[in-house]
Amino acid sequence: MTIRSFDLLQPQSLAEASDLLVKHGDDARPIAGGTTLVILMKQRAVYYPCLVDLQSIPGLDGISEERDGIRIGALATHGAVERSPVVRNSMPVVAEAFGKISNVRVRQTASVGGNLAHADYRLDPPPALLALEAEVSIFGPKGSRAIPLRDFFRGMYETALEPGEILVDVKIPFMPEGSKAVYLKYSALSANDWPCLGVAALLAKDNGRCRELRLALGGVAMTPVLIRGLEFARGLNLSDAVVDEVLGKVDGQISPFSDLRGSEWYKRQMVRVFVKRAIAQLDSGT
């Protein structure tokens, strides 16, 4: 199916792009990789007379190491993040999460910013980024601002972006000293499909006891979920009883709904399996 005609606007700066989005209002949307937007427009699910091409703005695709973390430009592709030595050396869990998205063709085109701004509840990167306490930088009519990723997702396909605002980059702090992290994806239909669920976990230990435990999940609520209340595990061995208490907190904070990839009951059971698997993998050091 063909796309209805539209105007492709090519700004040369973020300020110009923001002005165009404000000027055209609901008739315009930014486009980066376009892997989702183009499909939706081909399917006639959405239509925008104007697309604001962010690819025409220089400098939005960088991946760099800073004093306190890594900054990933919104136009960096999933494949670039997956292969980046900067990312792989400092926080391999991020490269792992981006490397599990769909297939090579999609990863070569789709952008980091587009993935997050789309705000689909089944995305692979958000759980890993949430567990690492990432934040996004935004530019808009009122200037620049930073938003913790935990506050960015507001609902299915809904974010904290206001009219005229553009996601510029993602800042990921370095992981706590001595910590390890993992992202586990479970696909119920095929390896290239959206995940039935995704679990990211980070664990830091002192003398064999938990110093910090973080968990974030995707695919099991209207937005990706950063699990709260895990401070109780500090100073404890991650025994079966402690893990069971963790699972209770997880179960109380997710709200999966039935779809092609599984019923609500099934997803809750698989969350238990994969959260336990992630914690065990980190706790054992394998």
Count of other CB atoms within 10 angstroms of residue 221: 16
62: Cα separation from own chain's centroid: 18
Find the largest Cα–Cα distance for the chain.
63
Q: Map tokens 């400092």 to a residue.
A: 90
What pLDDT, in 10s, does the model give residues 116-147?
Answer: 999 999 899 999 999 999 999 999 999 999 99
Evaluate whether 201 touches 278 at the Cβ level (below 8 Å).
yes
What pLDDT, in 10s, does the model give residues 195-214?
Answer: 899 999 999 999 999 999 99
pTM of the model: 0.95
Neighbouring residues of 189: CB distance < 8 A, sequence distance ≥ 6: 196, 260, 261
For 243-269, the DSSP string reads HHHHHHHHHHH-----BTTB-HHHHHH
The β-bridge relationship of strands 50-53 and 7-9 is parallel
Neighbouring residues of 27: CB distance < 8 A, sequence distance ≥ 6: 48, 49, 50
Ordered domains of the chain (ranges, CATH): 7-55 (3.30.43.10), 63-173 (3.30.465.10), 179-284 (3.30.390.50)
Q: Which pLDDT value is given to residue 1?
A: 66
Classified as helix, coil or strand, 45 is coil
Alpha carbon distance 254, 14 (integer Å)? 36
Question: Packing angle between helix 264-284 and helix 240-253, nearest 10 degrees?
Answer: 140
The continuous run of DSSP H or E covering 209 comes out as strand 209-218
For the record, the structure tokens of 250 come out as: 């997880």
Evaluate whether 11 touches 17 at the Cβ level (below 8 Å).
yes
Evaluate whether 134 touches 157 at the Cβ level (below 8 Å).
no
- DSSP code of residue 227: P
Evaluate whether 166 touches 17 at the Cβ level (below 8 Å).
yes
Alpha carbon distance 44, 149 (integer Å)? 31
Low-confidence ranges of the chain (pLDDT < 70): 1, 191, 285-286
Classified as helix, coil or strand, 3 is coil
For the record, the structure tokens of 262 come out as: 């599984």
What's phi and psi for 41, nearest 5 deg?
-70, -35
